[in-house]
Amino acid sequence: MSDCTHDCSSCGESCAERQGGSPFQIKPLREGCRVGKVYGVVSGKGGVGKSMVTSQLAVTMQRRGHNVAVLDADITGPSIPKAFGIHGRAVATEDAILPVITGTGIQLMSVNLLLEHETDPVIWRGPVIGGVVQQFWGDVLWQDVDYMFVDMPPGTGDVALNVFQTLPVDGVIIVASPQELVSMVVQKAVKMAQMMNIPIVGLVENMSYITCPDCGKKLYPFGEGKTQQAAEEYGLPLLARMPIDPELAHLVDLGRIEDFQGNWLDAVADKL
């Protein structure tokens, strides 16, 4: 264990002297609730399209006839409700919270659905964020979910670690930009999952190329060809390559991710 500061509120260790109990216990689900498989969507750093991939995967699996839920564990940067056009607040019973249901029937929970104003910042430490995610798991009335996708906090720090240890994650999907795939940042995310014994489903490369709207030619602004090799070095399958798609960005801005038409994530869905 690293040097103890005796400040349990900012510490991720689960030692014997810990005050306030371990932050790493997985709560049981509410009576009558069911969640099948839980997949975390992770990235080595922020802004690479993790939320985009989480919501697209949810939509893809829902279209295949499964019951799907999204747990937005990116507590300090929640963007899932906006992608689905949801701006209201979740409804609570006396001792539980109801997930918000999207237009196509996906169950959602995000801190943004509980804040008075969705622009309010969330300034909490890692273990507190882990506690909120624990409540999202144990206090939300998830109804007969086949697949739950978790938008994880970016990076491999304290917050991500706490969230990993509060959810029964069956596997992770790692999202990276082409530059990231050939850098150490992705290696850190891969190693974190391996150290926590969480299976890695595969890699999704986002913002791989742009298709010229005039001639249809694929342009690779960050270079082509190195990422497959990088994936092989990690011993992981590169399951999808998503282009930079202005139409997709526009749909997210309009809150209409459920209308997207691309099938880039089919290989990921097949593997799940």
Instruction: Give the residue numbers of the binding site for ATP.
Output: 44-51
Least separation in angstroms between residue 100's CB and ligand ATP is 19
Contacts with ligand ATP by CB under 6 A: the residue count is 20
Q: Nearer Cβ to ligand ATP, position 56 or 165?
A: 56
Footprint (CB under 6 A) of ligand ATP, residues 75-114: 77, 79
What's the one-letter identity of residue 49? G
Does position 244 interact with ligand ATP (CB under 6 A)? The reply is: yes
Q: Nearer Cβ to ligand ATP, position 49 or 130?
A: 49
Does position 154 interact with ligand ATP (CB under 6 A)? The reply is: yes
User: How far, in Å, CA of 91 to CA of 213, rounded?
Assistant: 44
Does position 262 interact with ligand ATP (CB under 6 A)? The reply is: no
Q: Which residue is nearest to ligand ATP (CB)?
A: 46
In the set 51, 67, 107, 177, which binds ligand ATP (CB under 6 A)? Answer: 51
Q: What is the 3-state secondary structure (H, E, C) of the chain?
A: CCCCCCCHHHCCCCCCCCCCCCCCCCCCCCCCCCEEEEEEEEECCCCCCHHHHHHHHHHHHHHCCCCEEEEECCCCCCCHHHHCCCCCCCCECCCCECCEECCCCCEEECHHHCCCCCCCCCCCCHHHHHHHHHHHHHCECCCCEEEEEEECCCCCCHHHHHHHCCCCCCEEEEEECHHHHCCHHHHHHHHHHHHCCCCEEEEEECCCCEECCCCCCEECCCCCCHHHHHHHHHCCCEEEECCCCHHHHHHHHHCCHHHCCCCCCHHHHHHC
Does position 49 interact with ligand ATP (CB under 6 A)? The reply is: yes
Does position 46 interact with ligand ATP (CB under 6 A)? The reply is: yes
Least separation in angstroms between residue 56's CB and ligand ATP is 9
Q: Nearer Cβ to ligand ATP, position 67 or 155?
A: 155
Q: Nearer Cβ to ligand ATP, position 233 or 247?
A: 247
Does position 126 interact with ligand ATP (CB under 6 A)? The reply is: no
Residue identified by tokens 């150490």 is 184
User: How far, in Å, CA of 84 to CA of 87, rounded?
Assistant: 9
Least separation in angstroms between residue 53's CB and ligand ATP is 7
Site pattern 200..219 for ligand ATP (x: CB under 6 A): ------xx------------
Q: Nearer Cβ to ligand ATP, position 11 or 201?
A: 201
- Binding positions for ligand ATP, rule: CB under 6 A: 43, 46-52, 74, 77, 79, 154, 206-207, 242, 244-245, 248-249, 252
